[in-house]
């Protein structure tokens, strides 16, 4: 059923079930935050349009629920939102607000579009390898990921935690077949992992001074 939703256009893609930290500083979006905190704490995140800072009919977004709100002395806020249902923008509403408001329709994946169990398991393995490399590249300690059991939630979790082009993420968000999303991620992850591993080669050489040994402490004799 269609419903009214304040919209925050951003160069980011939010997936259902995923948290997202945001820094709210523009006056019109400070107003949006203030308004939704007085209502149901929900707004929509859509991609920034190419010609205007507002969604266009047909845009796909995700409902964001404000879970944490840290107000700063100068009026800015640091918030954490949680992704809920996906939606398509039906039309913009003419309302006296400085931020966009739209009439939207929620949607789910098509019934019966779950992938075979072996495809979901393969996705878990590929994501584990990608995440291990990414954490090493970021100088974070190894961590065994706790991944969702069901394929739908798994696909959203993986899509929300990979570093790739926003247009690719937007297509993954708009996809209405769980099997196709899982398969797209299975094809994408080896490419992303290869890029991470190339970065790791440089990263490891930098830490070993390119000679297999440790970097000298240039401050030690000063």
State the average pLDDT for the chain.
89
pLDDT 10s digits, 99-154? 999 999 999 999 999 999 999 999 999 999 999 888 877 777 767 778 999 999 99
User: What is this structure's pTM?
Assistant: 0.87
Q: Residue 138: which domain range?
A: 117-208
Domain assignment present for residue 23? The answer is yes
HSE-up of residue 154 (Cα within 13 Å, Cβ side): 28
Give the pLDDT band of residue 50 (cuts 50, 70, 90).
Answer: low
At residue 98, the pLDDT reads: 95
Region of poorest pLDDT, from 5-14, 37-46, 87-96, 203-212: 203-212
Question: Which residue, of 81, 107, 133, is where some domain finishes?
Answer: 107
Angstrom distance (rounded) from CA 135 to CA 22: 22
In contact, 64 and 45? CB cutoff 8 Å: yes
| Statement to judge: residues 90 and 131 lie in one domain | no
Domain assignment present for residue 214? The answer is no
| Statement to judge: residues 125 and 95 lie in one domain | no
Closest CA to 156 of 9, 60, 14, 48: 14
At residue 144, the pLDDT reads: 76
Angstrom distance (rounded) from CA 22 to CA 80: 6
* The three-state (H, E, C) secondary structure of the chain, written as one string: CCEEEEEEEECCCCCCCCEEEEEECCHHHHHHHHHHHHCCCEEEEEECCCCCCCCCCCCEEEEEEEEEEEECCCCCEEEEEEEEEEEEEEEECCCCCCCCEEEEEEECCCCCCCCCHHHHHHHHHHHHHHHHHHHHHCCCCCCCCCCCCCHHHHHHHHHHCCCCCHHHHHHHHHCCCHHHHHHHHHHHHHHHHHHHHHHHHHHHHHHHCCCCCCCCCCCCCC
Question: Which residue, of 64, 86, 107, is where some domain finishes?
Answer: 107
Give the pLDDT band of residue 220 (cuts 50, 70, 90).
Answer: very low
- pLDDT of 94 strictly over 70: yes
Question: Which residue, of 48, 77, 107, is where some domain finishes?
Answer: 107
Angstrom distance (rounded) from CA 143 to CA 147: 12
Radius of gyration over alpha carbons of the chain, in Å? 21
At residue 143, the pLDDT reads: 74
Domain assignment present for residue 70? The answer is yes
| Statement to judge: residues 10 and 67 lie in one domain | yes
The tokens describing 12, both together, are: 């980011």
| Statement to judge: residues 173 and 102 lie in one domain | no
Give the pLDDT band of residue 216 (cuts 50, 70, 90).
Answer: very low
- pLDDT of 213 strictly over 90: no
pLDDT 10s digits, 164-212? 999 999 999 999 999 999 999 999 999 999 988 887 777 677 666 544 4
């Amino acid at each position: 059923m269609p419903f009214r939703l304040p919209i925050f256009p951003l160069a980011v893609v939010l997936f259902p079930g995923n948290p997202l930290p945001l820094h709210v500083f523009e006056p019109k979006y400070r107003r949006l935050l203030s308004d939704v905190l007085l209502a149901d704490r929900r707004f929509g995140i859509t991609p920034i349009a190419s010609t205007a800072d507002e969604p266009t009919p047909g845009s796909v977004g995700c409902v964001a629920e404000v879970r944490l709100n840290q107000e700063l002395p100068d009026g800015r806020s640091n918030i954490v939102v949680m992704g809920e249902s996906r939606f398509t923008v039906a039309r913009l509403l003419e309302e006296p607000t400085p931020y966009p408001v739209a009439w939207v329709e929620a949607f789910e994946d098509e019934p019966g579009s779950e992938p075979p169990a072996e495809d979901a398991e393969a996705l878990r393995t590929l994501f584990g390898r990608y995440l291990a490399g990414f954490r090493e590249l970021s100088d974070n300690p190894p961590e065994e990921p706790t991944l969702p059991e069901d394929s739908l939630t798994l696909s959203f979790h993986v899509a929300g935690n990979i570093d790739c082009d926003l247009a690719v993420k937007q297509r993954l968000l708009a996809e209405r077949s769980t099997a196709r999303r899982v398969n797209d991620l299975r094809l994408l992850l080896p490419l992303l992992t290869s890029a991470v591993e190339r970065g790791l080669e440089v990263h490891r050489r930098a830490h070993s001074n390119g000679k297999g040994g440790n970097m000298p402490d240039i401050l030690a004799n000063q």
